[in-house]
Amino acid sequence: MELTYRLQELDTAVDYILRNTKSKTLLFYGEMGAGKTTLIKELVKALGIRDVASSPTFSLVNHYESEKGSVYHFDFYRIEDEIEALDIGIEDYLDSDNWNLIEWPQKIENLIGENTQKLEIMVESENTRKLKFC
C-alpha cells in the first residue's frame, strides 16, 4: 500500500496512516530531509495532542499526553549503540499500549518486536512524497 501526497496535504497522509496501520508502534524510514518529523508532528496533532511536537533529537524521546492517552516520539538518529535505547527503557515503551512514533528505527532493529508498522517516506520531488506501508 502506498500513497503519494503533497507537503500541503499532510492531513491526507495522516488520515491514510491512521486508517491503515496495524499497530500503534510506527517505524518511520526515510532519508534525511524526507519529512519524517514533519509528518509525525501532524500525526501527533491528529492524535489529540495540543502541544506543538518537536524532534527529540537530543533527548531521544518526547512524551505527549491527551485525553486519548500517551504518545511517544523517538528520534534515534544520534545514538551510537542500541544500549542507549535500552537505557531509556525502550522495551517498556514498546510493550505499552501507547502510540510510539519512531524515527531512524534501523538504529534499534534488534530491539523492535513484531507488532509494528513500517512506513517508508520517499522524496518524489521538492513538494511531493510517497508513503509506503512495508
Check residue 56 and give its pLDDT: 65
Check residue 51 and give its pLDDT: 73
pTM reported for the whole predicted model: 0.92
Q: How confident is the prediction along the chain (134 residues), in pLDDT tens digits per residue? A: 899 999 999 999 999 999 999 999 999 999 999 999 999 999 999 999 887 666 666 678 999 998 888 999 999 999 999 999 999 999 999 999 999 999 999 999 999 988 999 999 999 999 999 999 99
- Residues 45 and 17 sit within 8 Å (Cβ to Cβ): no
Instruction: Give the number of other Cβ atoms within 10 Å of residue 70's Cβ.
Output: 16
Instruction: Please report how many Cα atoms fall inside a 13 Å half-sphere around the Cα of residue 48, on the Cβ side.
Output: 8
In CATH, which superfamily holds the domain spanning 2-133? P-loop containing nucleotide triphosphate hydrolases (3.40.50.300)
Check residue 46 and give its pLDDT: 94
